[in-house]
């Protein structure tokens, strides 16, 4: 397909500005948001949540998480209203509020996180296929798995290259299809096999019952914190409509974000708590992944296990497709305003960011090979790239906080300034909590990814403003600190001083 440098002036699918053709409606954007969050991990929620927490702690953890994510979703909703000019706003908010380097680092971290996250989908998909074709795909890192995953990586990229409408339609079908096993699970677990007595038998996890494999789980706060480490990752992707906001109106982006949040929240909570109505915490904690398949097999037989495993495969493919769109969209948007080098702004005849997608695909393929040669190193990389996505959330909420504090908030906005400041502060606090919960040691190692990105930032700045200094004084200090932290992190990694992250 022919490339065109006109991508620097036009959207990957539509032209910015007045009269723009917006291709995605509320349903399509909501499906995109849901699919971005609702991946294969949802099918293992019962086991993940019950490993170190009882029902009471799980419910409290969901309440805290849903409140925090609600404030974050409302932040995106308000920003879509007050700054509709900021398409692909997940990095533009930080760039506008805190400078070009911060905006670049947010975009770079998000891009790397999305690319490596797609490889994570590939590994999980191969492991899911192993249920039907054992033992060729066991663990997702055999040579057969790597070969098959590579075919999927390039195949999905080629499919996206054909245009947004086809990818959106396929995602809608996939999203609906992966709801089928989940709804089936909820109906069977909540209606046909539910026991109220068992549901409340050890609500706070302080009763030892050998017959039920239950054991005391410790203090309530410890249970909640351990459970929240699971819940906080279930909402990665809530910003999907914001990243694709060049393809829809601000009102559509706003509605899709909130609707997607509500849909997945209801499903997450039901999948987490209903199994306690027919299985104890101790029994659930020992289930093999995907635990919903093991549960349904006990309730209805082998066909239930097959349905769930098919659902896992569909869910992974659907989410992977959405993240393939996102991984191409962000570098393209960044190239339009000089945050990334101009070459990333090129599009093909279908209006898809071809260079951005191909570079992302090459990165994913390289990471896939890393899985084969060093599974331990891959696990470390996946953890690191997961946490470098979080600053994008903090930057967005902090930007809203800033424009309200500096009296730049529009007087005629749908939400009052008082409401906006309260939501932004709470979203920022929650974002910082996510950083703390994820582990500061991973952020230290994440500085290596940011330091590598400085090379691309220098390239982009030289193109955008060849006669200007690449860094201002503050940015130069930030860059030097990042490089220093990266050197320290590498030294600590390879000398065994960060054993919780990597053991050489």
Structural tokens at position 159 = 């499919």
Domain end (from 358, 374, 390): 374
Distance CA 352, CA 339 (A): 19
Model confidence pLDDT, tens digit, residues 216-247: 777 888 888 878 767 877 888 898 888 887 77
DSSP of 429-444, one letter per residue?
HHHHHHHHHH-HHHHH
Q: Please choose, from the candidates 380, 416, 423, 382, the residue with its C-alpha nearest in 3D space to the C-alpha of residue 401.
A: 423
| Residue 416 within any structural domain of the chain | no
Task: Give Cα separations from 336 to 16, 48, 92, 103, 105 (angstroms).
Answer: 11, 41, 11, 13, 16
Name residue, tokens 């940015």.
Answer: 475
Q: Read off the DSSP letter of residue 342.
A: G
| Residue 45 within any structural domain of the chain | yes
**Which domain CATH number covers 139?**
1.20.1740.10
Residue-number span of the structural domain to which 167 is assigned: 5-374
**Residue 4, strand partner residues:** 347
Task: Give Cα separations from 348 to 1, 3, 8, 171, 224 (angstroms).
Answer: 6, 4, 12, 21, 48
Residues 73 and 157 in one domain: yes
Residues 493 and 368 in one domain: no
> Do residues 107 and 335 touch, judged by C-beta distance below 8 A?
no
Residues 366 and 482 in one domain: no
Residues 262 and 361 in one domain: yes
Number of domains in the chain: 2
Per-residue pLDDT of the chain (504 residues; tens, 9 = 90+): 444 333 333 333 333 333 344 577 898 899 989 998 988 789 999 998 988 889 999 999 999 999 999 999 999 989 988 998 887 668 999 999 999 999 999 999 999 999 998 998 998 899 899 999 999 998 888 999 999 999 999 999 999 999 888 888 888 899 889 899 999 999 998 887 788 888 888 788 776 555 455 567 778 888 888 787 678 778 888 988 888 877 788 889 889 999 999 999 999 999 999 999 988 888 898 898 899 999 999 999 999 999 999 999 999 999 999 999 989 989 999 999 999 999 999 999 988 999 999 999 999 999 999 888 876 666 677 777 778 888 999 999 999 999 999 999 998 888 899 999 999 999 999 888 888 877 788 889 899 999 999 999 999 999 999 999 999 999 999 999 999 999 999 999 888 887 767 666
Q: Please choose, from the candidates 390, 482, 396, the residue with its C-alpha nearest in 3D space to the C-alpha of residue 438.
A: 390
> Do residues 282 and 213 touch, judged by C-beta distance below 8 A?
yes
| Residue 404 within any structural domain of the chain | no
Ramachandran bin of 3, using left for φ above 0, alpha for ψ from -120 to 50, beta for the remaining angles: beta
Name residue, tokens 């022919």.
Answer: 2
Q: Residues 130, 377, 120, CA angle at the centre, nearest 5°?
A: 45
What integer pLDDT is reported at residue 343 of this predicted model? 96
> Do residues 334 and 107 touch, judged by C-beta distance below 8 A?
yes
| Residue 411 within any structural domain of the chain | no
Residues 365 and 470 in one domain: no
Helix (H, G, I), strand (E, B) or coil at 214: strand
Domain end (from 374, 405, 424): 374
Residues 204 and 351 in one domain: yes
Residues 55 and 141 in one domain: yes
Distance CA 194, CA 274 (A): 7
Residues 483 and 358 in one domain: no
Q: How many CA atoms lie within 13 A of 326 on its CB side?
A: 35
Residues 466 and 369 in one domain: no
**Cβ burial 175-203 (10 Å sphere, 16+ → b, else e):** beebbebbebbbebbbeebeeeeebebbe
Name residue, tokens 């990165």.
Answer: 363
Q: Is residue 124 reached through a cis peptide bond, with omega within 30 degrees of 0 on the bond before it?
A: no
| Residue 269 within any structural domain of the chain | yes
**Residue 347, strand partner residues:** 4
Alpha helices in 188-301 (DSSP H): 196-199, 220-231, 240-243, 250-273, 281-285, 291-300
Residues 261 and 136 in one domain: yes
pTM of the entire predicted model: 0.86
Domain end (from 354, 374, 394): 374
Residues 362 and 474 in one domain: no
| Residue 477 within any structural domain of the chain | yes
| Residue 297 within any structural domain of the chain | yes
| Residue 420 within any structural domain of the chain | no
**Residue 209, strand partner residues:** 214
Residues 166 and 37 in one domain: yes
């Amino acid at each position: 397909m022919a490339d065109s440098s006109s991508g620097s002036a036009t959207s990957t699918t539509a032209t910015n500005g007045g009269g723009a053709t917006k291709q995605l409606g509320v349903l399509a954007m909501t499906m995109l948001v849901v699919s971005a969050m609702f991946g294969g991990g949802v099918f293992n929620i019962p086991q993940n949540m019950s490993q170190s927490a009882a029902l009471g702690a799980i419910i409290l953890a969901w309440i805290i998480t849903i409140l925090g994510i609600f404030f974050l979703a409302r932040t995106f909703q308000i920003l879509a209203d007050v700054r509709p000019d900021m398409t692909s706003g997940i990095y533009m908010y930080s760039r506008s509020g805190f400078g070009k380097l911060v905006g670049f680092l947010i975009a770079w971290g998000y891009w790397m996180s999305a690319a490596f996250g797609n490889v994570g989908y590939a590994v999980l998909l191969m492991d899911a296929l192993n249920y039907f074709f054992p033992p060729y795909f066991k663990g997702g890192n055999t040579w057969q798995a790597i070969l098959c995953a590579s075919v999927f990586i390039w195949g999905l990229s080629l499919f996206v290259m054909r245009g947004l409408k086809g990818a959106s339609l396929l995602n809608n079908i996939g999203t609906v299809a992966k709801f089928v096993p989940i709804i089936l699970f909820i109906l069977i677990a909540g209606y046909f096999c539910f026991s109220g007595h068992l549901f409340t038998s050890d609500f706070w996890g302080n009763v030892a019952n050998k017959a039920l494999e239950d054991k005391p789980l410790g203090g309530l706060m410890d249970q909640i914190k351990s459970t929240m480490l699971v819940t906080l990752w279930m909402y990665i992707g809530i910003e999907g409509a914001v990243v694709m906001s060049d393809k829809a109106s601000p009102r559509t982006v706003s509605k899709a974000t909130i609707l997607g949040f509500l849909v997945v929240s209801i499903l997450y909570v039901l999948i987490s708590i209903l199994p306690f109505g027919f299985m104890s915490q101790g029994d659930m904690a020992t289930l093999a992944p995907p635990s919903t398949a093991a549960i349904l097999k006990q309730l209805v037989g082998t066909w239930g296990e097959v349905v769930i495993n098919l659902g896992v495969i569909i869910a992974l493919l659907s989410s992977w497709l959405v993240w393939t769109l996102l991984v191409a969209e962000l570098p393209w948007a960044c190239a339009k305003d000089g945050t990334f080098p101009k070459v990333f702004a090129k599009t093909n005849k279908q209006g898809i960011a071809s260079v951005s997608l191909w570079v992302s695909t090459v990165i994913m393929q390289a990471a896939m090979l890393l899985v084969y040669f060093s599974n331990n190193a891959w696990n470390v990389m996946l953890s690191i790239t997961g946490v470098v996505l979080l600053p994008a959330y903090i930057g967005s909420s902090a930007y809203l906080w800033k424009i309200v504090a500096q009296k730049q908030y529009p007087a005629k906005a749908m939400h009052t300034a008082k409401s906006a400041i309260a939501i932004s502060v709470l979203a920022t606090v929650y974002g910082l909590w996510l950083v703390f919960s994820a582990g500061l040691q991973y952020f230290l190692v994440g500085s290596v990814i940011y330091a590598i990105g400085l090379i691309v930032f220098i390239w982009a700045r030289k193109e955008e403003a060849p006669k200007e200094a690449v860094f201002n004084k503050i940015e130069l200090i930030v860059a030097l600190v990042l490089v220093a932290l990266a050197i320290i992190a590498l030294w600590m990694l390879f000398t065994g001083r960060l054993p919780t992250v990597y053991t050489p």
